[in-house]
Amino acid sequence: MKSIFTILISLLSVALYAQASSSKSSTSAPTDCFGQWFSLFKERGANPVADGTHEVIITIRNGNYSDCFMGKIDVANGKLASPLQVQKVDGSYQEFDKRVSNFYQNEEGRLKEELRDVTNGMSASLTLTDGEIIRLFFYKSLADKPKANKKAPAPSAIIK
């Protein structure tokens, strides 16, 4: 009887431990969406961004935390040319409500000309008035993934 009781206690302990472990693993840590986008663009590069309106990934980061949103912006001559718009869940767009730090603005309150460049499919990283950092990724300009080299088979597979 004592051994059955010990076995039941052991099984119950294992079941409780397994449940606690699975609940911890299902609670995922926040992802670093900025890091993922930045790594992808650094690895693959990007084609030049043509003039026109482009969909972008808006990355906002603060320390180790980042958040990413869909948006759109106009480009002219390889430079940002309009106010940034963020996409809402209903598919509509509204002007982005955060502003870059005064340090990055000219006398008219617009982003300085030298900071408007789109390089390798990305805007410059700029600090916002609240201390967060913003960067845009022109994801449709991302270069194609390079094709991997085909591995040679073993000699026995091709030499008879």
- The predicted-structure confidence for 108-131, as pLDDT tens digits, reads as follows 888 999 999 999 999 999 999 999
How far is Cα 124 from Cα 144, in angstroms, rounded to an integer? Answer: 22
* pTM recorded for the entire structure: 0.73
Residue ranges making up the domain that contains 104:
33-141
CB 37 within 8 A of CB 68: yes
pLDDT band at 95 (very low <50, low <70, confident <90, very high): very high
Residue 91 lies in a domain: yes
Q: Does 129 fall in a domain? A: yes
- The answer as to whether 96 is a domain residue is yes
Mean model confidence pLDDT for the chain = 85
User: What is the amino acid identity at position 44?
Assistant: R
